[in-house]
Amino acid sequence: MRIMMSRGDLFLSSTFALLIMSLISCPLATQAFECREISRIHQSKRFDCSLSKNVLLVSSQGDDHLNVHTFHVLELEGTYAEITYDHGYLLSKEAAAGIIEEVNHRFQKELHRGSLAEQKLKSAVAQCYFNRIRSSVSLEFMRAAKSFYQGLQAGARAQGEKFPYSYEQLLMSGLGVELSIASEGLSRRAEEDPLGTYSELAATCGLEATVETATTFLNIVNGVVGGVASALKWGCLGFVAPSNFTQDGALLHARNLDADLVESWNRAPTLFIVHERGYYRYVAPASAGMMYPGGVSGFNEKGISVSLHEMSTTHYKTFIPNQKGMIAPFLQERILREAASVDEAVAILKSAGHFGGWSFFISDGKTDEVASIEVTGDRVEVARRTKGQWMGQTNHFLGDHMQDQFFTYNFNKLLESESRLSVISQGLEADHGKENVEWAIEHLAGHQDQFEGFRSFGRTATKVYTVMSTIAVPQRHEFWVTMGDLRPASHSHFLGFQIDFEHLGFVPLGEKRTKAYENIPSWERSLSYFSSARLMYDEGKFDLAVLLLSESILFAKKDGIDELPYFFMRARVSLVKGDLKQALEDFQFLWDRRTQLHPYQQSLVAMYSVISSDRSGGVLSTNEREFRLNEARRILSDLNRAYGHFDLNKKLKFLRQITSGQNPRKLPEIDFVTIE
């Protein structure tokens, strides 16, 4: 086998490649994958890598097939505008069929829900916010966006095709993540103060303040641009083990990317090795068409590693004067190209104008420093900073001055973020001195719920929408990233790359994958069926969603596991689609096993089982009905006293409707991510 190394068309024999791998002490080295140069433009090149064997894939419909998955590598060199052009040119076809398509599809689908008046208002708000953000970002960013689009067009023409999206649609995919945060924040503010929020919105966006428009706003107050808010969500786990905690004495920085891009991200997973002239070289992973690949995770030649983690906030901005605004992913890319220390990274963050809520998770392989910098449109705080000590990162703020700067969209999301942080923190401390790449892979592919133990999904490290996992070992110039050949991505193959920053090249190291579930292969296979069920539910295909959930249950049972999250979601979807028999059966199954559930989940089972019974004509006895409602009230009241979360208040209000004999037509939203 011949292995690609560098920009100079240099190939290494397999013997020499193995020697390199031994020199870098790669534990459990596996058969290297193959990479071949496909095309080039200017000083940039594209390579395509493929696994050395066929692997089992599961499609969005849940059917199995064998395939060889392709992973791209781009070596990009030039100015920022030049490298974005080259990215667009080299991956034009893949970008058109990837995240640009999915982001725009999701936005348009959500904006066209509701009455014509509601659609018109949602579109007006979304366009207003988009225009404000667009006019706030730097000229450098906008010039690069234009250059990116020109590269996409030129790449399509070179293949005898036309790029199918407009420049405006490209910008929507680039600015959408900040628009999503602002839209979600607007929705939350509207719940708290609908009239005040509408008055402010009308003034900001020039909306006509008529009774009709205000009434329409109130009708959609539980998601003013709710679909836009959910169209591009990032929920992520990150952790750093400093050199004194790792097996080989080199700092390790890992992360999961959880994003509503399940259908598109791994159509064209890509590793970018970048030399932007005048700046530090860096390596970063993304999907073809993501203009700022350094906006997810990566490390630079100075040993600075980064990962970006989204927060929900009502303290957002949609306009920043003098074009000083920085889209968070682009800002993190600036850290990779400009920062040689944590202090320099912090200075970059403090000098920028911020739109939404984010945590920038930064480590320095030279000094073992780790920091989490939390930002919103109103505030920047170095929330945590340490040296020679592990640190975990999830999706809630921990800074003393940031506790009023974030919210979680439901209560289970808060529990989920706390659970993931607790589990990884305990693991890092308990395995002091044992952490290595294999250790990180197992924890990224973890399924431990802090409150309930081993679980498929819910409050676990691996999420139903985990689309990529990465591991950086900057002092060894080593980067591992999932190929996305299995769903969820943290269970797919990790490809290892030795990065040659001097020559802007790479050496394939090999493939690794979690070994934790080798004895329960059917259970592991059930995960992809559950993921597909979520996609079908989102498309309104409830019958197919239930079918896939049933398949998930059966596959888990083959390994002797009753996955309670699968039963819960099948019950919820069955209730929505009117299959009361199935809903009653599943809720009763869960009620009989309620001691295995977190108290909050117990309260939900109690409520929904009563609703299912009421809609079936009263299957539960009067005493049993009253007992379950009382249990739900007690649990929710206790939790509300402890947490004071707005979602608990909503659930208590909903419970009062049921207790009073009402049969609420509108049920709380189904959330496959948190098993809600």
Same domain, 504 and 394: yes
The model carries a pTM of: 0.92
**How many domains is the chain built from?**
4
The answer as to whether 548 is a domain residue is no
The answer as to whether 105 is a domain residue is yes
What number of CA atoms fall less than 13 Å from residue 342's CA on the CB side? 19
Give me the pLDDT at residue 120, please.
Answer: 86
Mention every residue, 6+ apart, whose C-beta is less than 8 A from residue 112. Answer: 119
Give per-residue pLDDT as tens, 155-193: 999 999 999 999 999 999 999 999 999 989 998 998 899
Rounded mean pLDDT, 149-154 = 98
For the cut 70, the answer to whether the pLDDT of residue 61 exceeds it is no
Same domain, 119 and 206: yes
Residue spans of beta strands (DSSP E) within 63-118:
64-67, 70-78
Give per-residue pLDDT as tens, 87-122: 999 999 999 999 998 888 888 888 887 888 888 888
Give per-residue pLDDT as tens, 238-254: 999 999 999 999 999 99
Rounded mean pLDDT, 72-88 = 97
Token output for 501: 């920053």
Residue 481, beta-bridge partner list: 470, 495
The answer as to whether 520 is a domain residue is no
Nearest-angstrom CA–CA distance, 418 and 422: 6
For the cut 50, the answer to whether the pLDDT of residue 338 exceeds it is yes
pLDDT category of residue 220 using cuts at 50, 70 and 90? low
Is residue 363 a contact partner of residue 304, using CB atoms and an 8 Å limit?
Answer: yes
In whole angstroms, how large is the CA radius of gyration of the chain? 25
Same domain, 116 and 210: yes
Which range among 2-16, 53-67, 134-148, 200-214 shows the weakest confidence by mean pLDDT?
A: 2-16
Is residue 378 a contact partner of residue 386, using CB atoms and an 8 Å limit?
Answer: no
Question: Using alpha carbons only, what angle is made at residue 538 by residues 152 and 235, rounded to the nearest 5 degrees?
Answer: 70
Q: Which of 191, 105, 104, 133 is nearest to 356 (CA)?
A: 133
For the cut 60, the answer to whether the pLDDT of residue 574 exceeds it is yes
Cβ-count burial of 1 within 10 angstroms (0-12 exposed, 13-18 middle, 19+ buried)? exposed
Give per-residue pLDDT as tens, 508-524: 999 999 999 999 999 99
Same domain, 129 and 69: no
The answer as to whether 675 is a domain residue is no
Same domain, 261 and 323: yes
Mention every residue, 6+ apart, whose C-beta is less than 8 A from residue 381. Answer: 373, 374, 375, 399, 400, 401, 402
Give the domain-ending residue among 488, 512, 536: 512
Same domain, 279 and 373: yes
Token output for 444: 């990224």
Same domain, 226 and 243: no
Same domain, 597 and 474: no
* Cβ neighbour number for residue 414 with a 10 Å cutoff: 20
Give per-residue pLDDT as tens, 651-675: 999 999 999 988 888 899 999 999 9
Same domain, 170 and 115: yes
The answer as to whether 519 is a domain residue is no
CATH number where 636 lies: 1.25.40
Give me the pLDDT at residue 336, please.
Answer: 98
CATH number where 397 lies: 3.60.60.10
**How many angstroms separate the first and last alpha carbons of the chain?**
49
Range of the domain at 42: 3-75
Token output for 411: 């209560």
Give per-residue pLDDT as tens, 379-418: 999 999 999 999 999 999 999 999 999 999 999 999 999 9
Rounded mean pLDDT, 325-336 = 97
Give per-residue pLDDT as tens, 444-460: 999 999 999 999 999 99
Same domain, 186 and 300: no
Same domain, 175 and 59: no
For the cut 80, the answer to whether the pLDDT of residue 83 exceeds it is yes
Give me the pLDDT at residue 23, please.
Answer: 32
pLDDT category of residue 66 using cuts at 50, 70 and 90? very low
The answer as to whether 557 is a domain residue is no
The answer as to whether 82 is a domain residue is no
Give the domain-ending residue among 481, 512, 543: 512
What number of CA atoms fall less than 13 Å from residue 191's CA on the CB side? 16
Task: Indicate the average pLDDT of the chain.
Answer: 90
The answer as to whether 540 is a domain residue is no
Rounded mean pLDDT, 495-513 = 96
Give me the pLDDT at residue 157, please.
Answer: 98
Is residue 307 a contact partner of residue 370, using CB atoms and an 8 Å limit?
Answer: no
Give the domain-ending residue among 198, 230, 262: 230
Same domain, 489 and 635: no
For the cut 80, the answer to whether the pLDDT of residue 221 exceeds it is no
pLDDT category of residue 25 using cuts at 50, 70 and 90? very low
Nearest-angstrom CA–CA distance, 376 and 354: 6
pLDDT category of residue 69 using cuts at 50, 70 and 90? confident
Token output for 668: 């709380």
Give per-residue pLDDT as tens, 250-287: 999 999 999 989 899 999 999 999 999 999 999 999 99
Give me the pLDDT at residue 74, please.
Answer: 98
Rounded mean pLDDT, 604-616 = 97
